[in-house]
Amino acid sequence: MFKDKKVVVVMPAYNAAQTLCRTYNEVMAQEIVDLVIVVDDASHDETTAIAAKLPHTVVHTHANNLGYGANQKTCYKLAMENKADIVIMVHPDYQYTPQLIPAMASMIGNGLYHCVLGSRILGGYALKGEMPLWKYVSNRFLTLAENIMTGAKLSEYHTGYRAFSRELIAKLPLEQNSDDFVFDNQMLVQILWYGYQIAEVSCPTKYFREASSINFRRSIKYGLGCLGTALLYRLAKMKLIKSKLFPA
């Protein structure tokens, strides 16, 4: 709990057996997390079996692989059903340090923000953590283009380390979003659409063989999806189109 607010960590998992326990142990070491929700998107390894043995954990397994965005939809649905006041998404691949959970939760729990991102760009942690150069350059280009089209000033839109208030999750039309990786981006742009401020904290990160990643082809698809989302936002703001992503 944080100031009588229930803190729930959600983990969208896929083939995370090698790193799940390590991530979970560090999450629970922060001492404010009430519940962990692991959603296994039809992994081929022992992710579900390992998660089922963890205390204070709700485990849900998709019968078929539905995609990263669909995984998050299930995560947030279960978090709301379990009466979460603060929801923090931590990838179970141990790429992001759970040690920032108290700081992110406090920014929401104290009523300062409804969304907090762990940014790999602030402090120069992306390259220090050995993010591939092509991913770093793509990140910077996409972020610049999206900031221009949305009018925001975020350091990055592509981190998977995020904290939300219950109010915010209840407000967003998440079911309209993609079931693929661009879900992350659509969710942030929806938050901007509704006029919420997004806070960022500097986040150390690391890249290693077990850390999840998408290949170059899917990265291209993701990048085009991000640009398309930002363009839809701008056109909807100008009242030139209507979009289910950005309802009036």
Looking up residue 228, the CATH number of its domain turns out to be 3.90.550.10
pLDDT band at residue 132 under the 50/70/90 scheme: confident
Cα angle 207, 203, 213 (rounded to 5 degrees) comes to 30
Q: Is residue 130 in some structural domain?
A: yes
Q: Is residue 209 in some structural domain?
A: yes
Closest CA to 116 of 124, 106, 126, 125: 106
Give the count of domains, the chain. 1
Task: Give me the percent of the chain exceeding a pLDDT of 90.
Answer: 87
pLDDT band at residue 83 under the 50/70/90 scheme: very high
The answer to whether the CB of 55 falls within 8 A of the CB of 33 is no
pLDDT band at residue 117 under the 50/70/90 scheme: very high
How crowded is residue 174: how many other Cβ atoms within 10 Å of its Cβ?
A: 17
Q: Is residue 227 in some structural domain?
A: yes
Q: Please give the residue range of the domain that contains residue 153.
A: 7-237
pLDDT band at residue 127 under the 50/70/90 scheme: confident
Tell me the C-alpha distance between 98 and 6, whole Å: 17
- pLDDT at site 130: 76
Q: Is residue 194 in some structural domain?
A: yes
Q: Is residue 165 in some structural domain?
A: yes
Q: Is residue 125 in some structural domain?
A: yes
How many residues belong to the chain?
248
The helices-and-strands tally (H runs, E runs) of the chain is 9, 7
Q: Is residue 244 in some structural domain?
A: no
Q: Is residue 13 in some structural domain?
A: yes
Residues 40-65 pLDDT 10s: 999 999 999 999 999 999 999 999 99
Q: What does the block give as tokens for 34?
A: 């009430």
- pLDDT at site 208: 61
Task: Convert 58-90 to b/e letters by CB count within 10 Å (16 or more is b).
Answer: bbbbbeeebbbbbbbbbbbbbbeeeebbbbbbb
Average pLDDT, rounded, for the chain: 94
> pLDDT at residue 9 above 80?
yes
- pLDDT at site 217: 81
